[in-house]
Amino acid sequence: MDIQLPAVGPGVETDDEPEEELPPATVEYLDYRVVQQQGWDIDDDDLFEKAAAADLDERHYGVMEAPMKESLLRSAEDHGLKWPFQCRSGTCAMCAGVLKGGEAEMDMNLFLEDHEVEEMDLRLTCTCQPESDTVQVVFNAIQMEYVRDIAQNRG
């Protein structure tokens, strides 16, 4: 009996469409040190409006394009920005940021607890990718007393 094997190999057409490349997200970022220096509060609803009006250096505030499959930390580095990090694998809090707008999910988190992600909106920027067209993130959250505390005492 003849057995028909499916045709596979180079040049053979299949029904699978190539995965469509999503356009990059627009990420607005702000350095937590600026929040401190200006006497702003991380919970201020108009934090990014104030930052946009404050004539800040682009190392501390700006807008960048970030591919959907790239971590926020890597995208920042691709734009010449120096955000803090240590392990680059979701096991510390050195790269932590606060998500202030849009959606961004971590594909690896071995450090933050659920309430810190869901209620405090903390994200590890080394494993966190944009999930919406626009994202607002306050990076350098290791400067926050709470984050510094868990970085020193957890684990």
Residue 130 within binding range of ligand FES, rule CB under 6 A: no
Q: Are 53 and 38 in contact (CB under 8 A)?
A: no
- The residue within the footprint of ligand FES, chosen from 76, 92, 120, 147 (CB under 6 A), is 92
Phi–psi pair at 37, nearest 5 degrees: -60, -35
137 binds ligand FES (CB under 6 A): no
Report which of 96, 98, 95 is spatially closest to residue 28, judged by C-alpha positions. Answer: 98
Dig out the tokens for 28 from the structure.
């607005």
Cα-based distances in Å from 34 to 103, 105, 115, 136, 144:
23, 24, 25, 15, 12
Shortest distance (Å) from residue 4 CB to ligand FES: 51
Among residues 33, 49, 69, 86, the one that binds ligand FES under rule CB under 6 A: 86
Q: Does 142 bind ligand FES (CB under 6 A)?
A: no
> Could you give the angle at the alpha carbon of 29 between the alpha carbons of 23 and 35, nearest 5°?
165
**Residues 83, 62: contact at Cβ < 8 Å?**
no
The answer to the question of residue 90 lying near ligand FES (CB under 6 A) is: yes
99 binds ligand FES (CB under 6 A): no
Q: Are 151 and 92 in contact (CB under 8 A)?
A: yes
Binding residue for ligand FES (CB under 6 A) from 95, 104, 135, 150? 95
Q: Give the shortest CB-71-to-ligand FES separation in angstroms.
A: 9
Q: Whole-number minimum distance, CB 43 to ligand FES, in Å?
A: 23
Nearer to ligand FES, 36 or 91 (CB): 91
Applying CB under 6 A, which residues contact ligand FES?
A: 85-88, 90-92, 94-95, 111, 124, 126
